[in-house]
Amino acid sequence: MQDQTTAGTLFGAMRANPPLVQCITNFVAMNIAANVMLAAGASPAMVHAEEEAAEFAAISAALTINIGTLSAEWLVGMLSAAQSARQAGRPWVLDPVAHYATAFRRRAVAQLLDLQPTVIRGNASEIIALAGGISHGQGVDSRDPVELAEQSARQLAERHGCVVAVTGVTDFVTDGHKARRIEGGSPLMPQVTALGCSLTCLVGAFVATAPDNPFDATAAALAVFAVAGEQAGTVADGPGSFSWRFLDALAALDAEALTAKARIMLA
């Protein structure tokens, strides 16, 4: 029950003081991720240009970087923003979308990992491959169960001194020592593009709220998606209505309901 209470408290604190989060995400995710952030109570800004990314990171409470639609120009902005966030002592979150697919992505992720993300959030195939294992991912989509990625997540967390979150049917989060599983969500979630990318942005909002406790902050963000996703899934007719029902469920969720409904288990 302690984890649920912590998640509710962090959610309430985030809502009471909406953090400015710089989200460098992809063309597919930009709109839905910004709407997810607003519905959850955060203040997103999709700022990626190399001319201003570092400057903006210095005035943001957290930064998130997602390589979904990477280009050479965007990579320059990502690297300078991550450097700036580190210098300013701000947390930053990495979403290594399909990093295993091309040499360009693999190189980019290696450079980003050198800048010590506070949290890595990916699907099971991404996390397995990032730890050096054999994954079955297809493009941006996972083809591996979360359970198979749990050991990879623990290894990655220890190797990089960060929190690692793996999402799927049941989510998993670890800092290399402690770990939790978060139950909930809906099978319709992977049918709607960029919900994982949106969750990465929300993790940014929670680590902005609790920069000294990225493990609990990440678990809380996962729990928000799990509870709102489950609620939307029970009433949606398909991926189309799930999309808007999910936004409405996020907006209607409050700290008390999160504490009552979150299922965060020791792992």
Ligand X SMILES: Nc1ncnc2c1ncn2[C@@H]1O[C@H](COP(=O)(O)OP(=O)(O)O)[C@@H](O)[C@H]1O
Ligand Y SMILES: Cc1ncsc1CCOP(=O)(O)O
- Residues forming the site for ligand Y (CB under 6 A): 26, 28-29, 68-69, 97, 140, 193-197
**Residue choice 4, 35, 118, 142 for contact with ligand X (CB under 6 A):** 142
What the block records as the tokens of 193 is 């593009």
Q: Binding marks (x or -) toward ligand X, 67..106, rule CB under 6 A?
A: ----------------------------------------
Question: Measured between alpha carbons, how far is residue 245 from residues 5, 39, 56, 235 in Å?
Answer: 25, 11, 32, 8
Closer residue to ligand Y in complex, CB, 197/210? 197
Closer residue to Mg ion in complex, CB, 53/97? 97
Q: Is 46 annotated as a binding residue?
A: yes
225 touching ligand X, by CB under 6 A: yes
What's the chain's Rg over C-alpha atoms? Answer: 16
For residue 256, count other CB atoms closer than 10 A to its CB.
11
Q: Is 34 annotated as a binding residue?
A: no
Q: Is 209 annotated as a binding residue?
A: no
Question: Measured between alpha carbons, how far is residue 17 from residues 23, 44, 74, 83, 248 in Å?
Answer: 18, 13, 30, 25, 20
Report the distance separating Cα 101 and Cα 217, nearest Å.
30
Q: Is 194 annotated as a binding residue?
A: yes
Residue nearest to Mg ion (CB): 196
For residue 267, count other CB atoms closer than 10 A to its CB.
14
What the block records as the tokens of 133 is 């294992």
Q: Which residues in this chain contact ligand X in the complex, by CB under 6 A?
A: 123, 142, 167-169, 171, 185-187, 189-190, 195-196, 199, 225-226, 229
Residues making up the annotated binding site for substrate are: 46, 194
Residues at the annotated binding site? Answer: 46, 121, 167, 194
